[in-house]
Amino acid sequence: MNLLFDYFPEFRDGFLGTLSLTAAGAALALILGIVMAGFRVSPIPPLRAFGTAWVTLLRNTPLTLLFLIAFFVIPQILFPGTSPYKLAVGALGCYTSTFICEAVRSGIGTVPIGQAEAARSLGMTFFQTLRMIILPQATRTVIPPLSSIFIALTKNSAIAGAFSNTELFSVSKLLSDKGYAIGWTFLWIALAYLVITFSISGLFRLLERRMEVSR
């Protein structure tokens, strides 16, 4: 307990840093994932090709490599001077968006085709149909896999600690350099991750129950 109390500000900052990276990365991933899922089921060939390329390329690239590209290539080409936090969120969000895209696309596939045909017969465009008819019905199917995806995102955020970001895993290096036993440090860090992941799991279970009631 002395380790936690003596370095509580560092653990607190690491915990809040992990929370911030997870929340911001999840928001970006959710937006990109839904957009890319729309592209993948779009009747427009260039959009389908772009969505497929996005998922295939990013999902099959190691996340550490994406971080290296985000930190050492992107600032040189597109956004010089971007903060490490924004670059980390971008890498996490883009990588996670591929898994959300596939989860949403699978959810779209569970909606009966007659729903889309009825919308088209009323003169609705593809994107209107997707936004107003298909996605609301697909949400019930998409919620369970999103829980696992966001929990994985929380754990993936540990990589950001190696790229000048304050998060839970970076605390271990700080305390290790000060000579503290790494086992106790990892114990407190593991408990902090459990708090976050159990909170995410509980939130999505609540959403699932609410969606079940709304049926």
pLDDT greater than 80 at residue 214: no
Question: Six-digit token pair at 88?
Answer: 């980390």
Q: How far is CA 170 from the centre of its chain?
A: 20
Question: Within a 13 Å sphere around the CA of 189, how many CA atoms are in the beta-carbon half?
Answer: 24
Give the C-alpha distances (Å, rounded to integers) separating 71 from 78, 86, 88, 95: 11, 10, 8, 15
* Mean pLDDT of the region 33-50: 93
Report how far apart, in Å, the C-alpha atoms of 175 and of each of 1, 111, 212 are: 14, 51, 46
Question: Tell me: the pLDDT tens digits for 177-189?
Answer: 666 667 777 888 8
Rounded Cα–Cα distance for residues 160 and 70 (Å): 11
Q: Are 30 and 69 in contact (CB under 8 A)?
A: no
Cβ(215)–Cβ(140) below 8 Å: yes
Contact (Cβ atoms closer than 8 angstroms) between residue 163 and residue 84: yes
How is residue 177 written in tokens?
Answer: 């350099």
Q: For residues 211 and 58, which has the higher predicted lDDT (pLDDT)?
A: 58
Closest to 89 measured CA to CA, from 167, 160, 187: 160
123-170 residue pLDDT tens: 888 888 888 888 888 888 898 899 999 999 999 999 998 898 988 888
pLDDT tens digit sequence for 157-201: 999 988 989 888 888 777 776 666 677 778 888 888 999 999 999
DSSP state of 110: T
The reported pLDDT for the residue numbered 215 is 47
Would you state the structure tokens that stand for residue 134, as one six-digit string?
């298909």
Rounded to two decimals, the pTM is 0.88
Q: Do 126 and 108 touch, CB atoms closer than 8 A?
A: no
